[in-house]
């Protein structure tokens, strides 16, 4: 794809999906501003990106003042925002076992859900001036199908999927197109998927960072509200609708297996 003349702002860009997407769109001609909490990673990434005119800004998306500073940086440095890619996210704890779990959930929601909302809110004036523009929220298949043993993570992704679909039509009238890109199991630095990479059968279900980067670009180019990656994960949503009792039974057994393994 050719992204010449576009400006991409990518959060969570110091590793994984954000880093891969930044590299790919820069190679396709985009000017990129990468944001994350680790400055040394961002500085090195900007030095490695193809093309020129790229920038970075140290940002914790859970802190609105830091997001506001990021938006000011992008406007002053790049003058516009063609694509806002909300990729920052953390895996969070397993289970929900008591009072401490409430604090864990609040911290997770602050990054995975409100982090994206902070970015969208602070960038909205610039996005409107840059229209047509795109917002891509990296959610998860776990935002459609609750993963056993990870209620906090599932809740954060369900919230972001619902928010995305709710505002998509409203934003489109302003020529700001909102997409939910929903990866399945993708091994990355932050989400190593060790339970699956060591199993020859389960490895068949894994996707790649390259596939997610391609899906993000596809969602932007074709203004898709939903894009699942790998594509076969669309099928995982069918049993929950067509055979809910069987689906719940399988999920309950899966939760039991994980608990017996101490996870």
Report the half-sphere exposure of 164 (CA within 13 A, side-chain side): 30
* Residues forming beta bridges with residue 85, ordered by sequence position: 10, 136
- Tell me whether residue 153 is one of the annotated catalytic residues: yes
Measured distance CA(182)–CA(231) in Å, rounded: 10
Chain CA centroid to CA 256, Å: 29
Q: What is the DSSP letter of 98?
A: S
* Residues forming beta bridges with residue 177, ordered by sequence position: 134
Measured distance CA(259)–CA(252) in Å, rounded: 11
Q: What element of type H or E holds 19?
A: helix 16-27
Say how many Å lie between the first and final Cα of the chain, rounded: 41
* Residues forming beta bridges with residue 227, ordered by sequence position: 181
Are 228 and 182 a contacting pair, CB within 8 Å? yes
DSSP state string for 224-235: -SEEEESGGGGG
Residues in the chain: 263
Residue 235 CB: number of other CB atoms within 10 A?
Answer: 9
Measured distance CA(162)–CA(173) in Å, rounded: 19
User: Pick the catalytic residue: 56, 153, 177, 233?
Assistant: 153
Pick the closest to residue 12 from 81, 65, 62 (CA basis): 62
Residues with a known catalytic role: 153
């Amino acid at each position: 794809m050719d992204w010449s003349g576009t400006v991409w702002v990518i959060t969570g860009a110091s590793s994984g999906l954000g880093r891969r997407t930044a590299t790919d769109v820069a190679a396709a001609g985009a000017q990129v501003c990468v944001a994350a909490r680790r400055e040394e990673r961002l500085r090195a990434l900007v030095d490695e990106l193809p093309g020129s005119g790229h920038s970075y800004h140290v940002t914790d998306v859970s802190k609105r003042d830091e997001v506001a500073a990021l938006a000011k940086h992008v406007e002053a440095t790049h003058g516009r925002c063609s694509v806002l890619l909300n990729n920052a996210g953390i895996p969070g704890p397993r289970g929900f076992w008591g009072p401490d779990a409430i604090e864990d959930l609040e911290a997770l929601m602050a990054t995975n859900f409100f982090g994206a909302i902070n970015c969208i809110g602070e960038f909205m004036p610039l996005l409107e001036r840059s229209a047509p523009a795109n917002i891509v929220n990296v959610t998860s298949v776990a935002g459609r199908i609750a993963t056993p043993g990870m209620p906090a993570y599932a809740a954060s992704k369900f919230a972001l999927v619902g928010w995305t679909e709710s505002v998509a039509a409203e934003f489109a009238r302003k020529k700001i197109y909102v997409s939910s890109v929903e990866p399945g199991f993708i091994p990355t630095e932050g989400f190593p998927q060790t339970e699956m990479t060591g199993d020859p059968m389960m490895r068949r279900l894994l996707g790649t960072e390259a596939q997610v980067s391609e899906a993000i670009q596809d969602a932007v180019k074709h203004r898709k509200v939903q894009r699942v990656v790998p594509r076969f994960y669309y099928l995982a949503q069918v049993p929950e609708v067509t055979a809910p009792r069987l689906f719940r039974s399988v999920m309950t057994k899966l939760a039991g297996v994980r608990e017996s393994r101490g996870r």
